[in-house]
Structure 1
Amino acid sequence: MLVFPNAKINIGLHIVERRPDGFHNIESCFYPVGWSDALEITPAEEFSFQSDGIAIPGEGDDNLCTRAYQMLSRDFDLPPVKIHLLKAVPIGAGLGGGSSDAAFTIKALNQMLDLGIDIDKQEEYARKLGSDCAFFIRNKPMYCFEKGDKFEDIEIDIAGKWIVLINPGIHISTIEAYSGVVAKRSAVDLRTVLCKPVSEWKGRIENDFEATLFKKYPLLAEIKETLYTRGAGYAAMSGSGSTIFGIFEKEKNLKDHFSDFRLWQGFLK
Structure 2
Amino acid sequence: MIAFPNAKINIGLNVISRRRDGYHNLETVFYPVNIKDAIEVVESPELSFNASGIEIPGHANENLCLKAYERLKNDFKLPPVSIHLHKKIPIGAGLGGGSADAAFFIKLLNSKFNLNMNVETMQNYARELGADCAFFIKNQPVFAYGKGDEFEDISLTLKDFFLVLVMPPVHVSTGEAYSGVKPANPNISLRELVGEPLEEWKYLMKNDFEESVFRNHPVIRGVKAELYEAGALYASMSGSGSSVYGIFKNKIELPHLEANNQVFYEI
Moved over 3 A (4+): none
1:157–1:195 contact (8 Å) kept in structure 2: no
Q: Distance in 1 between matches of 2:104 and 2:169?
A: 25
Q: TM-score, normalised by structure 1?
A: 0.97
Q: CA deviation at 1:233?
A: 0.3
Q: Which amino acid aligns with 2:195?
A: C
Q: Which residue of 2 aligns with 1:248?
A: 248
2:3–2:108 contact (8 Å) kept in structure 1: yes
Q: CA deviation at 1:256?
A: 4.8
Q: Which residue of 2 aligns with 1:200?
A: 200
Q: Which amino acid aligns with 1:141?
A: P
* More moved, 89-98 vs 253-262: 253-262
Q: CA deviation at 1:156?
A: 2.4
* More moved, 252-261 vs 70-79: 252-261
Structure 2 residue matching 1:98: 3-state secondary structure: helix
Q: Does 1:45 align with 2:50?
A: no
Q: Which residue of 1 aligns with 2:225?
A: 225
Q: Which residue of 1 aligns with 2:173?
A: 173
Q: Distance in 1 between matches of 2:109 and 2:2?
A: 11
Q: Which amino acid aligns with 2:31?
A: Y
2:257–2:263 contact (8 Å) kept in structure 1: no
Q: Which residue of 2 aligns with 1:110?
A: 110
Q: CA deviation at 1:250?
A: 1.5
Unmatched tracts of structure 1, length 5 or more: none
Q: Distance in 1 between matches of 2:209 and 2:25?
A: 14
Structure 2 residue matching 1:202: 3-state secondary structure: helix
- Residue by residue, what CA displacement relative to the aligned partner does 1:114-137 show, whole Å, maximum 9, x if unpaired? 110111000000000000000000
Q: Which residue of 2 aligns with 1:137?
A: 137
2:135–2:149 contact (8 Å) kept in structure 1: yes
Q: Which amino acid aligns with 2:126?
A: A
Q: TM-score, normalised by structure 2?
A: 0.97
Unmatched tracts of structure 2, length 5 or more: none
Q: Which residue of 2 aligns with 1:4?
A: 4
Q: CA deviation at 1:155?
A: 3.0
Q: Distance in 2 between matches of 1:149 and 1:255?
A: 37
Q: Which residue of 2 aligns with 1:126?
A: 126
Q: Which residue of 1 aligns with 2:14?
A: 14
Q: Distance in 2 between matches of 1:157 and 1:39?
A: 27
Structure 1 residue matching 2:117: 3-state secondary structure: coil
- Residue by residue, what CA displacement relative to the aligned partner does 1:154-211 show, whole Å, maximum 9, x if unpaired? 2324223110011112111111110010000011221222112211111211000001
Q: Distance in 2 between matches of 1:130 and 1:40?
A: 21
1:227–1:235 contact (8 Å) kept in structure 2: yes
- Residue by residue, what CA displacement relative to the aligned partner does 1:16-37 show, whole Å, maximum 9, x if unpaired? 0001111100000000000010
Structure 1 pair 19/46, CA: closer, same or farther in 2 (3 Å)?
same
1:188–1:204 contact (8 Å) kept in structure 2: no
Q: CA deviation at 1:73?
A: 0.8
Q: Which amino acid aligns with 2:17?
A: E
Q: Which amino acid aligns with 2:33?
A: V
Q: Which residue of 2 aligns with 1:190?
A: 190
Structure 1 residue matching 2:8: 3-state secondary structure: strand
Q: CA deviation at 1:56?
A: 0.8
Q: CA deviation at 1:254?
A: 2.1
Q: CA deviation at 1:88?
A: 0.6
Q: Which amino acid aligns with 1:54?
A: I
Structure 2 residue matching 1:201: 3-state secondary structure: helix
